[in-house]
Amino acid sequence: MNSEPLHLTGVEAVGGRLGRELPAGSVVWLQGPLGAGKTTLARAIARSRGVGTDATSPTFGLVHHYRGPGGEIYHVDCFRLRHPDEAADLDWQTLTASDLLLIEWPERAGAWAPPASVRVRISHVGDDLRRVDLE
Protein backbone atom coordinates (compact mmCIF):
# COMPACT_ATOMS: atom_id res chain seq x y z
CA MET A 1 0.00 0.00 0.00
CA ASN A 2 1.46 3.36 -1.02
CA SER A 3 0.36 6.45 0.82
CA GLU A 4 0.02 10.10 -0.02
CA PRO A 5 2.63 12.35 1.64
CA LEU A 6 1.87 12.75 5.36
CA HIS A 7 2.90 15.08 8.15
CA LEU A 8 4.31 13.31 11.21
CA THR A 9 0.84 13.34 12.81
CA GLY A 10 -0.27 11.27 9.82
CA VAL A 11 2.62 8.87 10.43
CA GLU A 12 1.39 8.55 14.02
CA ALA A 13 -2.13 7.79 12.74
CA VAL A 14 -0.76 5.02 10.51
CA GLY A 15 1.13 3.60 13.52
CA GLY A 16 -2.00 3.70 15.66
CA ARG A 17 -3.98 1.83 13.03
CA LEU A 18 -1.21 -0.76 12.61
CA GLY A 19 -0.98 -1.29 16.36
CA ARG A 20 -4.71 -1.98 16.58
CA GLU A 21 -4.78 -4.31 13.56
CA LEU A 22 -1.59 -6.38 13.88
CA PRO A 23 -2.16 -9.88 15.25
CA ALA A 24 -0.10 -11.22 18.13
CA GLY A 25 3.24 -12.58 17.02
CA SER A 26 3.73 -10.00 14.27
CA VAL A 27 7.21 -8.87 13.25
CA VAL A 28 7.33 -5.34 11.84
CA TRP A 29 10.33 -4.11 9.89
CA LEU A 30 10.70 -0.33 10.08
CA GLN A 31 12.90 0.95 7.28
CA GLY A 32 13.94 4.39 6.11
CA PRO A 33 16.69 6.97 6.45
CA LEU A 34 17.70 8.68 9.68
CA GLY A 35 15.01 11.05 10.90
CA ALA A 36 12.29 9.61 8.66
CA GLY A 37 9.96 8.76 11.55
CA LYS A 38 10.58 5.09 12.34
CA THR A 39 10.59 5.71 16.11
CA THR A 40 7.56 8.00 15.79
CA LEU A 41 5.71 5.13 14.13
CA ALA A 42 6.92 2.62 16.76
CA ARG A 43 5.77 4.96 19.55
CA ALA A 44 2.29 5.21 17.99
CA ILE A 45 2.07 1.43 17.59
CA ALA A 46 3.02 0.90 21.25
CA ARG A 47 0.60 3.59 22.45
CA SER A 48 -2.26 2.01 20.49
CA ARG A 49 -1.57 -1.28 22.27
CA GLY A 50 -1.88 0.37 25.67
CA VAL A 51 1.77 1.03 26.55
CA GLY A 52 1.61 3.92 29.02
CA THR A 53 5.17 5.19 28.65
CA ASP A 54 6.47 6.73 25.45
CA ALA A 55 8.53 4.38 23.35
CA THR A 56 11.94 5.84 22.68
CA SER A 57 14.64 4.92 20.22
CA PRO A 58 16.64 1.95 21.51
CA THR A 59 19.68 2.98 19.48
CA PHE A 60 22.10 2.82 22.41
CA GLY A 61 20.55 -0.11 24.27
CA LEU A 62 19.56 -1.91 21.05
CA VAL A 63 16.40 -3.36 22.66
CA HIS A 64 13.55 -1.79 24.63
CA HIS A 65 10.82 -3.87 26.24
CA TYR A 66 7.30 -2.57 26.86
CA ARG A 67 4.28 -4.15 28.49
CA GLY A 68 0.71 -3.04 28.13
CA PRO A 69 -2.78 -4.50 28.04
CA GLY A 70 -2.09 -5.39 24.39
CA GLY A 71 0.81 -7.62 25.45
CA GLU A 72 4.60 -7.53 25.33
CA ILE A 73 6.35 -5.43 22.72
CA TYR A 74 10.04 -5.51 21.90
CA HIS A 75 11.53 -2.61 19.95
CA VAL A 76 14.94 -3.32 18.43
CA ASP A 77 17.17 -0.78 16.67
CA CYS A 78 19.99 -2.39 14.68
CA PHE A 79 21.48 0.91 13.47
CA ARG A 80 24.66 0.59 15.56
CA LEU A 81 25.47 -2.93 14.38
CA ARG A 82 28.69 -2.79 12.39
CA HIS A 83 28.29 -6.33 11.07
CA PRO A 84 25.29 -8.69 10.96
CA ASP A 85 27.11 -11.21 13.19
CA GLU A 86 26.76 -8.73 16.08
CA ALA A 87 23.01 -9.47 15.98
CA ALA A 88 23.80 -13.00 17.18
CA ASP A 89 24.09 -11.61 20.71
CA LEU A 90 20.41 -10.61 20.77
CA ASP A 91 17.97 -13.11 22.26
CA TRP A 92 15.95 -13.60 19.07
CA GLN A 93 14.01 -16.52 20.56
CA THR A 94 12.57 -14.27 23.30
CA LEU A 95 12.09 -11.35 20.91
CA THR A 96 10.09 -13.40 18.39
CA ALA A 97 7.97 -14.99 21.15
CA SER A 98 6.57 -11.58 22.11
CA ASP A 99 3.18 -10.24 21.08
CA LEU A 100 4.84 -7.72 18.78
CA LEU A 101 8.40 -7.22 17.57
CA LEU A 102 9.37 -3.90 15.97
CA ILE A 103 12.77 -3.81 14.25
CA GLU A 104 14.40 -0.62 12.99
CA TRP A 105 17.22 -1.06 10.44
CA PRO A 106 16.54 -4.85 10.11
CA GLU A 107 18.84 -5.11 7.09
CA ARG A 108 21.82 -4.51 9.41
CA ALA A 109 20.97 -7.73 11.29
CA GLY A 110 21.24 -9.74 8.08
CA ALA A 111 19.93 -13.30 8.35
CA TRP A 112 19.46 -12.87 12.11
CA ALA A 113 16.42 -10.65 11.57
CA PRO A 114 13.26 -12.76 11.55
CA PRO A 115 11.06 -12.49 8.47
CA ALA A 116 8.70 -9.53 8.45
CA SER A 117 4.95 -9.92 8.82
CA VAL A 118 4.73 -6.29 7.72
CA ARG A 119 7.39 -4.12 6.13
CA VAL A 120 7.02 -0.37 6.66
CA ARG A 121 9.16 1.95 4.54
CA ILE A 122 9.18 5.62 5.51
CA SER A 123 10.79 8.19 3.24
CA HIS A 124 11.27 11.95 3.27
CA VAL A 125 9.12 13.79 0.76
CA GLY A 126 9.89 17.25 2.10
CA ASP A 127 11.05 18.94 5.28
CA ASP A 128 8.03 17.83 7.27
CA LEU A 129 6.34 15.39 4.89
CA ARG A 130 6.79 11.62 4.79
CA ARG A 131 5.61 8.78 2.61
CA VAL A 132 4.70 5.54 4.38
CA ASP A 133 4.61 2.39 2.27
CA LEU A 134 3.32 -0.89 3.74
CA GLU A 135 3.98 -4.38 2.44
Domain that holds residue 69: 8-134
pLDDT confidence bin for 3, thresholds 50/70/90: low
- Identify the CATH number of the domain in which residue 46 sits: 3.40.50.300
Mention every residue, 6+ apart, whose C-beta is less than 8 A from residue 85: 110
Mean pLDDT of 105-127: 94
Predicted pLDDT of residue 59? 62
3: in domain: no
Name the domain count of the chain: 1
| Residue among 100, 121, 122, 101 nearest 113 (CA) | 101
50: in domain: yes
51: in domain: yes
Each residue's pLDDT tens digit, 20-77: 999 999 999 999 999 999 999 999 999 999 997 777 766 667 899 999 898 999 999 9
1: in domain: no
The span from the CA of 56 to the CA of 42, in Å, is 8
Of the chain, the percentage scoring pLDDT greater than 70 comes to 94
